[in-house]
Structure formats: C-alpha cells, structure tokens
A and B are shown apart, each in its own frame.
Chain A
Amino acid sequence: MEKIICLENINYHYHDAISALTDISLEIKRGERFAIIGANGTGKTTLLQIMNGLISPSSGKLFFKGDEVLKQTLKDKGFLRFFRGRVGYVFQDSDVQLFCPTVLDELLYGPLQLEIGETEAMDRAFEMMKMLNIEHLKERPTYMLSGGEKKKVAIGSVLTMNPEVLLLDEPTNGLDSKMQCFLVELMLALNEAGKTLVIATHDLSLVDELQATVGVLSEEHRMEKTGSAIDILKDEELLLRVNLIHEHIHRHRDIAHRHIHSHYLFHRHENS
C-alpha cells in the first residue's frame, strides 16, 4: 500500500523549553485506520496538528504522498490547495472549529474554498446533512447546537471537502454512547469508502472497535510502540507503563478486589 503520511524524527518544543514530542517517526498507508494513543499531555494533538501542517516541528520532516510539507511550501497556493484539499482535520473542541453563521454556511465553506461550483457545493452540503441526519439544523446558528450536533457539523464541514485523509482529535470525547456508536459506524463506513483515518485518542474501546493500527505515545513524548490493535491491547505491561490502564480497588458485595482497570479490556479478576 502507498505511504500517504510519513514522519521522520519529529521533535517539537513549546517556547523552546517544554518538550511535546521526541523523535517521532511513523508511516501511515493509504486507506489505513491509524490510532495514536497516549495518556493526557503526551502530545497526541500536537502530533496531529503537525500532520496537518498547522504547526511546524522544531526538527524532523513531514511528507505527504512523498512531497515534503514545509512552512514555506504551505504558503504556495498550488501546494496549499493540493494539501488542504486532501487532508482534513476535526478538532477536539467543535466550538473553535465552527466559525460560520449557520450550519449550512459551515458545510459550504470548504467546497467554496476549493472553488467548486455553487450548485455542486450545495449538493454536497445537502447530501452531507442527510447522511449525518442534521437536515433540520440547516439554518441554525452553530452556537445553538448540542455537543453531539456540533461534532456532526464539524465532521460534515470537513467531509464536504472530500479529503483523502481524515485526522480526528479525540472524536468521541464528551459524547453520549449513542453518538459514540454513530461516530464509530461513520468512521468505519468512511474508511470502507477509501478514506485514511488517523485518530488521536485515549479511549481503548474505540481502538478495539476500529481495529486500527496503533501508535502508543509515552509520557516522555516518544513513540513507545506501533502495532495492530490486538497486539497493543494485549500488552498490559506497555499500557500500564504509558498510564493508559491502572490498578484500582472496587467492591463486589462485601469483597474488595484490586485489579488492573482500563474501563474496558482488563476488567478481570485474579480469581476468575
């Protein structure tokens, strides 16, 4: 499979002082589902923003389809259209992403930027609203939406540009279980439709549901391990080390148990 995103020895420091990423190298292939997992503050969002060319690494290289993405090349109109039209980014906080007056304007923004004709842009927006079941919200200002609706609009606003790669930052964070299920189904359907998905999350159940290739970030901001979801989720010692699972005590009637807990996979008792 063709390599679509390639990172080589990426380092990132905030204000030349605080390290956010240390020597990250990874390859993402076309049509792959890739999950970057790690505890809070490990640099997942920073890594995703580097992949989208939103921030530039302190050192290291980013390649998209073999072309190096640089601050300078992103200033060129030709390359910018090529890159931004193919790589979409869904922010964790939908509020910051939605800046147009209404839901319809939001969905039209991307296609109009791509200079797609207004009729086609409208068609895309309406098809998207139908798919996401938000047709009734068409004229509503985005600040009048619920958390789940905002997330749908945020994803829709990126999808109307028809990107090849979709970068999603904590997509299921703060959503109810019904909305989470909807999102998982949507991501799988989009992947089947040929989209490459890159997700930053600490939700291990999401990783399992997507059966993604996983890159584990350590608290030292390094890529600790990459592998299949099965291999990574099996590796208790690794998940404990990177603080994605922990030991806790809970009670079954009068008996207290101490066991490894991730709210998902390792809810397992020693005696069972």
Chain B
Amino acid sequence: MRDQIPPFLLHRPSSNSFRLEGRNLRTPFLEKGMDRLAEMIKTAYSQWEYASREGFFQKIDARIKVLFLIFFVVIVSLKKNIGSEGLIGIFVFSLMLISRLNVFHLYKRILLFGLIFGSLVALPSILNLFGEGEVLFTLLRLSTPYEFWIYSIPQEIGITKEGLYGMVMLTLRVINSLSITFLLLYTTPFPEIIKALKVFRVPDTFLIIITLTYKYLFLFAKTVEDMHLAKKSRLLREMRHRETRKWVAGRVAFIFRKTRLRTEEVYKAMLCRGFSDTITIRQTAKLRQCDWVAGISLFLIGCLLLWI
C-alpha cells in the first residue's frame, strides 16, 4: 500500500499562511432554506424536553388536554369582546407559568404569528375603504368622494373605531388560539397527542401513519442536515445558483430514493412482526382521579369564561 500512494499526496503545501480576502461567502437561498427547514424540524427536540419536565400541565392525561384545546379554541372564537379575550389570554399564560415553560421563548413565536396572521391580515380592514364606521384618525382627505361600480371611496379616508376593534379582536383570537395550542404541544409528547386522538374515534391505521410520518421526518431532517455539512466540508468557494439548483435537485432525488427504500424496509419489518392488513395499537390506560379533577376544573373555568 505504501508504494501505491500517488506522488501528489506526498506534496505538502508550500505556505502555512493565508491571505484574508475580506469578501464574505454568501450561502445560496435554496441551500440555506433546506438547512433551515431541517433545523426547524429538529427543534421538536426542545418540545420533547419541555414535555418531559415536571409541571402542572405535563401531569395531566393527553386526552384531557386535547379536549381542553378544542373546548377553549371554540370559546376563543365565540367571545366577542376584548376583555374576555384578555382574560383567556391571562389564564393560558398562568397555565404556562405553572407548567414551567419558557414563556419568553414561546411568546416570541406566538406574538410573531399573531401579528402576521392577525394584525397584518386584518390591517386593510381598519380603513373606512372596506367598511363604514366612526373615523378615529384621518389619513387622507380627498377633494370629493368617488363612486364606481360596487366601490365607494369616501372623501375622508381614515382608521375607523370598528375596524380597529375588529383587528384587535382577530389578533387576540389568533394569539389565544396559538397559546393554547403551544401549551398542549409543549407539555405533551407528540406520541401521546396522537394516542389521545383515539378519543375522537380516529382509526388506528390513520394514527400509525401519522406516528410513522413524524418519526421518519426527523430521520430525514438529520440526513438533510448531514448532506449540507458534507457539502460544506468540501466547499471552498461560492456556489453559482445553477450549481446550487443542480445540487438541491440531486439531493431531493436522493431523498426520494432513500424514502422509497426505507418504506419497503419498514413494510417488510412490519410483515415479519405479524402485520396482515389491520393495525391495532395499544389501548390507552384509564383516566386517573387527578385527570378527572383537572378535566372538570378546566371545563368549569371554560364555562365561566364563556358566561362572562
């Protein structure tokens, strides 16, 4: 083997130094996107970490929590005043606190989504261009009002009280719904949530498909991340967009091939462990007394919030 080493491998670089070029490399958008997606999928690790902490909501059975989620999201949608939405928000926030969740980290994401899907989506509706109402701030004054087809532009364009109220309500509803969902997700391991869906008579086959999808999503996210690192380790210059597209397309094909092979393997593994054509998963345990107490308490609080 020693004699077979090619001469170029015996050559040592002449210089031990380098020259800083002062120009930074840019990572192409497609590649960055792929890497970020893999990273995002892997953040579920932190979900698992929070879900396994000792906290109030973590101790409650997943079935109660899923029912709580549905009941409270309905309440959030039914309430029509800001005060009640605020009360629900405070209640969910205190549940997060006693469940020892990182509220700062969670609310950073909740508020971001709330502002995008609540405020930004409803932003145009605050103007009297789309609905009538009492103008609070005038933004523009035209010489004359315009009317054409079904549209009418008033002489005074401004923010209406009703529009503003509608936007705040929508934002609060989005924020509250998200907080309740995050509370469930961060206090319950994902497999438990899936099992809890049995309460709603979701077929076992469907549940096992979701479980498998969730599990393999992680494995493939890891593969995508490794592929990105493997390329990074041999990359010495900026990649042209054409090269990046070629690389991403190649890697997508690789993932497809790997997924197909993995599907066959998983199916064979299921066959050799007795799978025929029906799937039966373990029945969930009976609810404990503390779960009943928590469930009834949450139900009563929900009714109270509905009544207020």
Are A and B subunits of one complex? yes
Residues of A within 8 A of B (CB): 14-18, 49, 52, 54-55, 65, 67, 73, 75-86, 88-89, 91, 93, 95-97, 99, 101, 109-110, 113-115, 120, 123-124, 127-128, 130-131, 143, 157-159, 161-162, 164, 185-186, 188-190, 192-195
Which single member of B4, B16, B17, B20 contacts A76 (CB below 8 Å)? B20
Please measure, in the bound complex, the distance between the C-alpha atom of A101 and the C-alpha atom of B230, giving whole angstroms: 15
Is A80 within 8 A of B25, CB to CB? yes
Residues of B within 8 A of A (CB): 1-2, 4-13, 16-25, 42-43, 45-46, 49, 223, 226-227, 229-238, 247, 250-251, 254, 257-258
Is A131 within 8 A of B6, CB to CB? yes
Cβ contacts A to B, 17 pairs, < 8 Å:
A15-B45, A17-B45, A54-B232, A75-B25, A76-B20, A77-B238, A83-B18, A93-B223, A95-B254, A99-B227, A99-B247, A109-B234, A130-B6, A131-B6, A143-B257, A162-B11, A189-B4
Interface centre among B6, B19, B237, B238 (most CB of A within 10 A): B6
CB neighbours of B230 from chain A (8 A): 89, 91, 96-97, 99
Is A76 within 8 A of B23, CB to CB? yes
CB neighbours of B231 from chain A (8 A): 99
Which single member of A18, A114, A130, A157 contacts B49 (CB below 8 Å)? A18
Is B45 within 8 A of A18, CB to CB? yes
Which single member of B6, B16, B20, B233 contacts A89 (CB below 8 Å)? B233
CB neighbours of A157 from chain B (8 A): 234
Given A76-B21, A89-B233, A131-B6: A65 in contact with B16 (beta carbons within 8 A): yes
Please measure, in the bound complex, the distance between the C-alpha atom of A7 and the C-alpha atom of B37, giving whole angstroms: 30
Q: Which 4 A-B pairs have the closest CB atoms?
A: A82-B18, A127-B6, A78-B21, A96-B226
Please measure, in the bound complex, the distance between the C-alpha atom of A97 and the C-alpha atom of B45, giving whole angstroms: 25
Which single member of B8, B9, B18 contacts A190 (CB below 8 Å)? B9
Is A79 within 8 A of B20, CB to CB? yes
Is A17 within 8 A of B10, CB to CB? no
CB neighbours of A124 from chain B (8 A): 6, 8
Which single member of A14, A80, A85, A189 contacts B45 (CB below 8 Å)? A14
Instruction: Name the CB-closest residue of B to A76.
Output: B20
Please measure, in the bound complex, the distance between the C-alpha atom of A186 and the C-alpha atom of B5, giving whole angstroms: 9
Please measure, in the bound complex, the distance between the C-alpha atom of A124 and the C-alpha atom of B1, giving whole angstroms: 17
Please measure, in the bound complex, the distance between the C-alpha atom of A80 and the C-alpha atom of B18, giving whole angstroms: 9
- Cross-chain pair count, CB within 8 angstroms: 130
Is A54 within 8 A of B229, CB to CB? yes
Given contacts A17-B45, A113-B235, A190-B9, 20 further A-B contacts (CB under 8 A): A18-B45, A65-B16, A76-B20, A76-B21, A80-B235, A80-B237, A91-B229, A95-B258, A96-B230, A97-B230, A101-B250, A113-B236, A115-B237, A127-B6, A131-B6, A158-B234, A164-B13, A189-B5, A193-B10, A194-B10
Given A17-B46, A99-B247: A193 in contact with B9 (beta carbons within 8 A): yes
Please measure, in the bound complex, the distance between the C-alpha atom of A18 and the C-alpha atom of B234, giving whole angstroms: 28
Please measure, in the bound complex, the distance between the C-alpha atom of A54 and the C-alpha atom of B2, giving whole angstroms: 31
Please measure, in the bound complex, the distance between the C-alpha atom of A183 and the C-alpha atom of B1, giving whole angstroms: 10
Interface centre among A77, A82, A84 (most CB of B within 10 A): A77
Is A161 within 8 A of B233, CB to CB? no
Is B20 within 8 A of A93, CB to CB? no
CB neighbours of B2 from chain A (8 A): 189, 192
Please measure, in the bound complex, the distance between the C-alpha atom of A96 and the C-alpha atom of B230, giving whole angstroms: 7
Please measure, in the bound complex, the distance between the C-alpha atom of A180 and the C-alpha atom of B74, giving whole angstroms: 62
Is B234 within 8 A of A78, CB to CB? no
Chain B proximity of A69: nearest CB distance (Å): 12
Please measure, in the bound complex, the distance between the C-alpha atom of A17 and the C-alpha atom of B52, giving whole angstroms: 13
Please measure, in the bound complex, the distance between the C-alpha atom of A84 and the C-alpha atom of B24, giving whole angstroms: 15
Which single member of A14, A99, A120 contacts B250 (CB below 8 Å)? A99
Please measure, in the bound complex, the distance between the C-alpha atom of A158 and the C-alpha atom of B10, giving whole angstroms: 15
Which single member of B16, B24, B42, B226 contacts A93 (CB below 8 Å)? B226
CB neighbours of A115 from chain B (8 A): 237
